[in-house]
Amino acid sequence: MPARVLNWLWAPVGIAPLVTLRVALGAVFFVATLRFWANGWIAQQYLDPAFHFTYFGFGWVAPLPGLGLYVVYASMAAAAFGITVGLLYRASAVVFWLTFTYTELLDVTYYLNHYYLVSLLSFWLIWVPAHRRASLDVRLGWVEAATHVPRWCVGIFRVQVAIVYVYAGLAKLTGDWLFRAQPLRTWLATKTDVWLLGPLFKWKATAYAFSWFGAVYDLFIALALLWRRTRPWAYAAVVVFHVLTWWLFPIGMFPWVMIAATLVFFPAAWHARLWDRFDPGLENKAQVAGHRTGPGRAWVALLLGLYLVWQLLWPWRWVVFPGDFHWHEQGYRFGWRVMLVEKAGYVRFRILDPASGNAGYHEITDLTLAQQKQLAFQPDLILQYAHHLAAYYGERGYPGVHVYAEAAATYNGRPSKALTNPNINLAAEEDGFFRPKPWILPR
Amino acid sequence: MKTLHLQLWTLAIVLLLAGCDSSDDDDTGNYDSTALLTTTADVLIVPAYEDFTGRTQQFNNAVTTAPTAADVDNLRGLLISAWSSWQAVSPWGTEVGVGPGFTAGLTKGQVNVFPTDTAQIEANIASGSFNLEAANALDAKGFPALDYLLNNATSGEVATQLADTSRLNYLKALTQDIATKASAAFTGWTGGYRDEFIANTGNAAGTSLALMLNSWIMDYEDARRFKVGDPIGVRFLGALNPGLVEVRFGKYSRLLALAAFRAHRKIFAGEDPGSPNNYGLHEVLLDLGTPGPNGGLLGDEILAQFDAAIAAVESIPDPLYNAVTNSTPVVQAAYDELQRLIPLLKADLTSTLGVQVSYQDMDGD
């Protein structure tokens, strides 16, 4: 690692942006956790369903029984609060990251890009000394106050947020988004009742304008936030854009996560003006938190480098799968592809007992409506469920049944079309990293 | 940076103008959601509850002491009338929970669980003390239990059975239970919920559109499954079981199935014969211009499939109980036609109207 790179990464910058980020993100995480609880989603999404769709390689992650999951959420809320006020900060960050990521791994049904983002952001909160100013840890004398942090501590958040936007923008450069204004056209057509803006949604031009503005916004907002002269306007655009999407679509906490996270693009001096009110006179002390010399620097640099390579490459893994990956969804998740598709589907499973030749259809009774909705158009979930059914019938005296899926789905305003080959026994098909699923029919 | 922005914007506008298909009109197509909800309430739901309330009250009032064979015949006719009327109410009585019908307990789980548990019914009658609201009473009450009580023997023999007052009391408790719930549901709709329903526009979870669509489609799936699929063993690897038909003793299951599927068709069409100005889902889809999977308009394709499914059910020889064994392929064919509607409803229709199945967050940007 060239010394110049290390020196650049470790050069001291003001701590204030990190403090703002800690407080803002922590508060959003705290509210999001309480909101999740208050909506009854702990029971509804994780405890009530008898079956859960797991992520490939994480099949062992299951909801804790009884009160266990409530303890997890209580810890998560407490940890988010700890992050916000800077109390037992490192432990809080670790607990939040662990509990949040654990709950997100419980069921693919509820996968959202912004949950993934929260996992990534909270991971980095663990490693940065965001509690070294304006925190209870400092107030209580557990850690010393600091004025500066190494550059990478602020930089990693800027890079992460920039990746999210730029990749979300690149993902919008599709024929459907740009030249059919889909799926926004479908969605806006059902929103003509909305106060004030509703009448606009009757025109196709509105859907095109929203689509193109959205793509340009995503591609260039990070640049505009970085540049001093455009920054205030860019931040105003962030607020307007995300509040608008929050108003029109049921997207939960995502707007507030982004409105909080993009604050990190403002310079240290801007943030310092806020925090100087809480502990004036600190700027004369000039203390760097998280300062390291020697091999420690190189290890952190290596971690950062590997992380960035992963973040930059992982969203492109769809290229190894033939066909339209928006349709077959292989390599689709974890790529900042947001609001890109409108799909609804229906799937039913034919069960054939090869021993007797008897056949019938399974009626799904152990899934919630939300799970069934996602199952209908996501092939990896269809495969998981087919295996579940093979086991289910096996336990009931029909070992080795064949399971065939008959799935049909709509896709961005197109009529429904068969998604799976109904003649391939899915009980005999395996999932795997980068293993193509030839039983998915092309669009 | 500034020039780059300018260039991109110019490019964007040029591409936008080029990209818009000029042969299309400027409208995205949109529909009148208030008219749809008004039709749903005033043409479909409230009249269904009104009819059902009248018939169940008439039925309940006709259960009097010491019935003769002629009285039993009369009660049987009233059971057919009330049970047929139920089929148009059932779509609003699912666990999705649409309005006062749900809160009054006028649900499929309370009034139409079949097969009925005859042993439990006899035990309840013998003990004389029973709680119809208990969970284990659900398959010992409602229409299928009344079918057992009134149709298990000739009308003369049933009249003799009903000379036992505890048996008659049980019969009365069952008719009273349905009539009370029906009346509460109807009063709830006319006493304010109708306006609330129409005012609750939008397509998020909990809006009237989401409630009515989810409840109706769920009931359609149930009707297909319980009325036709289960007797021919679709869920049981093809094992035939005629005892699972809706009207096991009275043997008019086909009549009720047709009433149900015709009610479902009417919900989609939104129209009463002779009132052509009603605005239902069919017209909504035509207004939106949504294409269907067979190359036509989705609205017309769904209506045509309803007609095909109803025709296929009509071709089942009566009674269904016998057809299950004697004409299995005909019943299977009817099931398949009924099944063909489900992707159209659950994928195409739901997608077009953008309704949420449950309250949760989706992916933002």
Residue-wise pLDDT for B107-126, tens only, equals 999 999 999 999 999 999 99
- Out of A193, A216, A416, closest to residue B343 by CB: A416
Q: Is the peptide bond before B319 cis (omega within 30 degrees of 0)?
A: yes
DSSP B143-187: HHHHHHHHHSS-HHHHHHHTTSHHHHHHHHHHHHHHHHHHHHHHH
Q: Which residue of chain A has the CA closest to B356?
A: A370
Q: Which of A41, A112, A344 sits opposite B347 (nearest CB)?
A: A344
Whole-structure pTM value: 0.91
Closest to A188 (Cβ–Cβ): which among B28, B201, B293?
A: B28
Rounded Cα–Cα distance for residues A441 and A420 (Å): 5
Whether B46 has a pLDDT exceeding 80, the answer reads: yes
Adjacent-strand bridge partners of A414:
A411
Q: Please tell me which of the candidates B26, B204, B346 has its beta carbon nearest to residue A204.
A: B26
Q: Which residue of B has its CA nearest to A205?
A: B26
Mean pLDDT of A235-243: 96
What's the one-letter identity of residue A91?
Answer: A
Instruction: Report pLDDT digits (tens) over A381-410.
Output: 999 999 999 999 999 999 999 999 999 999
**pLDDT at residue B354 above 90?**
no
Of the residues A361, A368, A373, the best mutation for testing chain B's interface (the one with the most B CB atoms within 10 Å of its CB) is: A361
Residues of B in contact with A251 (CB under 8 A): 361-365
Helix axes B253-269, B69-86, angle to 10 degrees: 30
Size of interface A-B (CB pairs under 8 A): 177
Mean pLDDT of A315-330: 95
List the single best residue of A204, A329, A347 to mutate versus B (max B Cβ within 10 A).
Answer: A204
User: Could you tell me how far CA A164 lies from the centroid of its own chain?
Assistant: 10
Residue A288 has pLDDT above 90, yes or no: no
CA dihedral sign of residues A330, A336, A340, A345: positive
Of A281, A280, A252, the closest CA to residue A41 belongs to A252
Backbone angles phi, psi at B360, to 5 degrees: -160, 170
Measured between CA atoms, the residue of chain A closest to residue B12 is A212
Statement: residue B22 has pLDDT above 50 = no
- How many Å lie between the alpha carbon of A275 and the closest alpha carbon of chain B? 30
**CB–CB of A190 and B350 under 8 A?**
no
Instruction: Say what the pLDDT of residue A195 is.
Output: 85
pLDDT value, residue B1: 41
Query: What pLDDT score was predicted for residue B273?
Result: 63
Q: Is residue B352 within 8 Å of B209, Cβ to Cβ?
A: no
Cβ contact A203–B27 (<8 Å): yes
The nearest CA of chain A is from the CA of B3 a distance in Å of: 13
Q: Are B361 and A201 within 8 A, CB to CB?
A: no
Q: Which residues of B touch A193 (CB under 8 A)?
A: 33, 201-202
DSSP state of A140: T
CB B124 within 8 A of CB B140: yes
Identify the pLDDT of residue A283: 63
pLDDT in tens, B225-252: 999 999 999 999 999 999 999 999 999 9
> Per the CB < 8 Å rule, is B20 touching A208?
yes
Higher local confidence (pLDDT), B10 or A156: A156
Which pLDDT belongs to residue B27?
A: 63
Closest CA to B306 of B282, B354, B276, B341: B341
Cβ atoms within 10 Å, residue A2:
8
In 3-state terms, what secondary structure has residue A229? coil
| Interface contact A370-B350, CB threshold 8 A | no
pLDDT for A282: 73
Q: Which tokens belong to B255?
A: 């009549």
CA–CA distance, A364 with A43 (Å, rounded to integer) = 20
User: B365 and A338 in contact by Cβ < 8 A?
Assistant: yes
Top mean-pLDDT range of A284-288, A308-312, A336-340: A308-312
- CA separation for the pair A288, A274 (Å, rounded): 19
pLDDT of residue A294: 83
On the question of pLDDT at B17 being above 50, the answer is no
Whether residue A85 is predicted with pLDDT greater than 50 in this model: the reply is yes
How far is Cα A259 from Cα A261, in angstroms, rounded to an integer?
6
pLDDT for A198 equals 86
Share of chain B above pLDDT 70, in %: 89
Query: What is the band of B355 on the pLDDT scale with cuts at 50, 70, 90?
Result: confident
**Residue B29 confidence class, pLDDT cut points 50, 70, 90:** low
Contact A358 B33 (CB under 8 A): no
CB contact under 8 A, B1 and A227: yes
Report the candidate in A51, A59, A105, A102 with the shortest Cα–Cα distance to residue A430. A59
Contact B111, B181 (CB under 8 A): yes
Pair of tokens at residue A298: 């190189």
Please give the backbone phi and psi of residue B296, each rounded to the nearest 5 degrees, phi first.
-100, -155
Q: Averaged over B269-295, what is the pLDDT?
A: 86
CB contact under 8 A, A193 and B201: yes
Angle value at C-alpha B54, between B50 and B55, nearest 5 degrees:
120
Closest Cβ–Cβ partner in B24, B233, B364 for A339: B364
Is pLDDT of B20 > 70? no
A166 falls in which pLDDT band (50, 70, 90)? very high
| Helices A295-313, A3-10: crossing angle, 10 deg rounding | 90
Q: Please name the member of B204, B236, B347 whose beta carbon is closest to the beta carbon of A250.
A: B204
* Gap between the Cα atoms of B75 and B143, Å rounded: 12
Average pLDDT over residues A132-138: 95
pLDDT band, residue B135 (cuts 50/70/90): confident
Q: Could A250 and B15 be called an inter-chain contact, meaning their C-beta atoms sit closer than 8 Å?
A: no
